[in-house]
Amino acid sequence: MWYPDRIPDWLSGLFPKYHWHGDRNKSQVYLTFDDGPTPMVTHFVLEQLERFGFKATFFLIGDRAQRFPGLKKEVLEAGHSIGNHTFHHLNSWKVSSEMYLKDIAFAKANTSNSLFRPPYGRIHRKVAQQLVADGYKIVLWDVLSGDFDTSRSPESSLKSLKRHTRNGSVVVFHDSEKAFPILKEVLPEYLEWLQEQQFECLPIS
C-alpha cells in the first residue's frame, strides 16, 4: 500500500479552495481523527489529549455518531471540534455526486455543517463546489500518520510524524478499531514530542 506521508505545499497550492494546513509562521498543529466515534478507541484518544491539554478535530461518520451519541457528546464537552465524514464513509469516486451529497446531508444532523473531510481524500469538483456554496470548509491534510496501515510498524509511523510535522500541520489519525493497534503505541509518544517541541494543538474552527 503506497500513500504519501506528507503533502508538499506546491501540490496543495494547486487546490487553494481546500484547507490543507494552517499558518506556517505559528507553532500550531491541528490534530484530526477520522472514522469514529468508536467505543474504547475514542475514549483512549480523549484521555491522551486531556493529559497534554491539547484540542483536536474529530471527523465523524454519521452512522457511527448516530449509534454512539454519548461519545459524540463527550468529544464536544471536552472542547474539541467535530466535522462531517459522510454518513456511510463513501468514496466520492465510486458513487454519483447526487448520492454523495445526499449522504453528507444525511450525516449533517449527527456531525457538522461547517467542516467536511472526504473519506480517502477523494472528492469530485462538482461536489466540492456545492459544499463550498453550502458553507462547508473542506479539510484535507499535509501529514498522514499511516495508522490505518496494518503492515506498518508503530516505529515507522512515529518517525515519519516527527520528520514531517511543522508549523500549521494538519495531521490525520483514525479513532477506529482497525487503526487502534498502531494508534495506541504512537499517539502518546507523538503528543509528548509535540509538547517538547512547544507546539500548540488547536481544533479547526
**Under 8 Å between Cβ of 90 and 127:** no
What are the helix (H) ranges across 89-205? 97-108, 125-133, 154-164, 180-196
The confidence score (pLDDT) of residue 64 equals: 98
In a domain, 24, yes or no: yes
Q: Hey, is 74 helix, strand or coil?
A: helix
Q: Chain-centre distance of CA 118, in angstroms?
A: 10
- Domain membership of residue 9 (yes or no) is no
Average pLDDT over residues 121-132: 94
Quote the pLDDT of residue 150: 93
**175 domain-assigned:** yes
Q: How many domains does the chain have?
A: 1
Exactly one of 19, 21, 80, 174 is catalytic; name it.
174
Confidence of residue 18 (pLDDT cuts 50, 70, 90): very high
Confidence band of 204 (pLDDT split at 50, 70, 90): very high
In a domain, 7, yes or no: no
Please give the pLDDT value at position 187. 98
Q: Which domain holds residue 96?
A: 18-201
Task: Specify the higher pLDDT residue, 2 or 17.
Answer: 17
Active-site annotation holds for 34: yes
Q: Confirm whether 4 is domain-assigned.
A: no
Do residues 154 and 184 make contact, with C-beta atoms less than 8 angstroms apart? no
Q: Tell me whether residue 89 is one of the annotated catalytic residues.
A: no
Q: Is residue 109 part of a domain?
A: yes
Query: What would the pLDDT profile of 25-54 be if each residue is shown by its tens digit?
Result: 999 999 999 999 999 999 999 999 999 999
Flag whether 114 is in a domain: yes
pLDDT grade for 89, boundaries at 50, 70 and 90: very high
CATH of the domain at 102: 3.20.20.370
Q: Tally Cβ neighbours within 10 Å of residue 19.
A: 18
Residue 74 burial (C-beta neighbours within 10 Å; 0-12, 13-18, 19+): middle
Q: CA torsion angle for 179, 39, 64, 177 (degrees, to 10)?
A: 20
- Residue of 34, 35, 142, 175 with catalytic role: 34
Residue 185 lies in a domain: yes
The pLDDT of residue 3 is 83
